Amino acid sequence: MLKKIKNHWFKLVVGFQIVFVIYGIYRNNRIDYLMNGRTKKNKAIIMHISDGTAIHCLPSAKYYYYVQNTKYYFSNDGKFNHLKKGDTILIKYSLEDPSKSRVIDKYYMKKYHHLRNQ
């Protein structure tokens, strides 16, 4: 009886992992599609930088930006360890769905220009 319960939990956990992976692939493909369409550049402000040691497991930065007085939040994977909370980066966002964006210049601030070629 106990083996059956463990087997069901195992199947459930594996099922959730498969759904999670499929959703991640769909999300990345959707963002790539939107970023290859019509986009516009904008400044964004760093809210939080993750070094990858927490649950997320990849280094990333969370940021916010405004489009027509609407505030949007997004995050991108990558090393942002030279930045601090409140620093400005340059992003591009989709005109079709402004809530989707990508960082195009994390050395946008003048004080970080010297790091661009490293």
Higher pLDDT, 100 or 116: 100
Q: Where are the alpha helices (DSSP H) in the chain?
A: 2-36
Q: What does the radius of gyration of the chain's CA atoms come to, in whole angstroms?
A: 18
The model's confidence at residue 1, banded by pLDDT at 50, 70 and 90, is low
Task: Tell me the per-residue pLDDT of 68-110, one tens digit each, with 9 for 90 and over.
Answer: 999 999 988 888 888 899 999 999 999 999 999 999 998 888 7
Give 3's pLDDT tier (boundaries 50, 70, 90).
Answer: low
Q: How do residues 61-71 score in pLDDT, each as one tens digit?
A: 999 999 999 99
d(C-alpha 50, C-alpha 116), whole Å: 20
Please write the tens of the pLDDT for every residue from 18-55. 998 999 899 888 888 888 889 999 999 999 988 766 66
Single-letter amino acid code for the residue at 31 = I
Are 91 and 103 contacting, i.e. CB atoms less than 8 angstroms apart? yes
pTM (2 decimals)? 0.73
